[in-house]
């Protein structure tokens, strides 16, 4: 399957991607780099992130990795300030970082609950807060918050993750009119089961894939680049009328 859309509006645009070192985030960073955007990505996994930065730099993409723990809001703000200094005012934000660690509801403690919310939801708001002044000054901006199809299908064994991902669309709905007055668009993207390396390694059993094919309209698995290329459209000026929405890319699963 080949893709080749080029969005002229993304060339030289300063883009920030959280959780960009692996999985869907890695594809997002690469696809923006291919567009000629200036991309800064945050992650806490140094080895794969530095390898991605080196690989894309060899391709002459304008990509920079910054180690940022998004649960530390002051570190997040400092990372945004550094990205701004290196790549210019940020006019595209992709809030991608998350962790879908499985957990039993009976075992959840208040401390674990707070840690999961901080990891999967809270940082999205504070990243928005940190970049909006750049977008307001520019007179435009696009924010894409990565949600998940898990809250629509009611996935098992990760209730706090599912609640966080539902909250992300709530955040979009809560911010869209606030930001719309500044010509800043904000949307959510809800992927289905995307076959990242982590998904294949941890949960992609023959039995699970058989059930997926029963539930999903498209009779094939979905790849990270398919989500990344959808995000390119939402970040570009081609989607200028789209805000306050949840875009589902799940092969017809839900």
8 Å CB contact between 96 and 15: no
Contacts of residue 194, Cβ cutoff 8 Å, sequence gap at least 6: 23, 24, 222, 223, 224, 226, 227
Q: How far is CA 37 from the centre of its chain?
A: 16
8 Å CB contact between 13 and 83: no
Angle at 202 between CA 197 and CA 205, to 5 degrees: 100
If 0-12 CB within 10 Å is exposed, 13-18 middle and 19+ buried, where does residue 115 land?
middle
From the list 7, 61, 112, 161, the catalytic residue is 161
Task: Say how many CA atoms lie within 13 Å of 252 toward its Cβ.
Answer: 8
Q: Is 140 a catalytic residue?
A: no
Contacts of residue 161, Cβ cutoff 8 Å, sequence gap at least 6: 98, 99, 100, 101, 103, 116, 120, 148, 150, 155
8 Å CB contact between 68 and 43: yes
Q: Is 147 helix (H, G, I), strand (E, B) or coil?
A: coil
Per-residue CA distances from 128 to 18, 51, 125 (Å): 11, 27, 5
Longest dimension (CA), the chain: 52
Task: Say how many CA atoms lie within 13 Å of 20 toward its Cβ.
Answer: 29
Q: Which residues are catalytic?
A: 161
């Amino acid at each position: 399957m080949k893709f080749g859309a080029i969005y002229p509006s993304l060339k030289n645009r300063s883009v920030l991607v959280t959780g960009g070192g692996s999985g869907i985030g890695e594809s997002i960073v690469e696809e923006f780099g291919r567009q000629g955007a200036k991309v800064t990505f945050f992650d806490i996994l140094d080895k794969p992130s530095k390898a991605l930065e080196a690989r894309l730099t060899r391709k002459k993409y304008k990509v920079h990795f910054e180690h940022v723990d998004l649960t530390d809001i002051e570190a997040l703000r400092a990372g945004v300030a550094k990205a701004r200094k290196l790549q210019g005012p940020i006019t595209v934000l992709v809030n991608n970082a998350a962790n879908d660690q499985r957990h039993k509801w009976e075992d959840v403690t208040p401390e674990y609950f707070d840690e999961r919310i901080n990891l999967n939801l809270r940082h999205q708001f504070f990243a928005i807060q940190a970049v909006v002044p750049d977008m307001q000054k520019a007179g435009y901006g696009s924010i894409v918050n990565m949600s998940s199809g898990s809250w629509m299908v009611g996935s098992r064994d990760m209730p706090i993750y599912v609640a966080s991902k539902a909250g992300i669309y709530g955040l979009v709905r809560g911010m869209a009119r606030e930001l719309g007055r500044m010509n800043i668009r904000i949307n959510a993207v809800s992927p289905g089961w995307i076959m990242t390396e982590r998904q294949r390694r941890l949960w992609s059993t023959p039995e699970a894939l058989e059930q997926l094919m029963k539930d999903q309209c498209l009779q094939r698995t979905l790849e990270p680049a398919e989500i990344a290329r959808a995000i390119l459209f939402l970040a570009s000026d081609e989607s200028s009328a789209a805000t306050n929405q949840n875009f589902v890319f799940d092969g017809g699963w839900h």
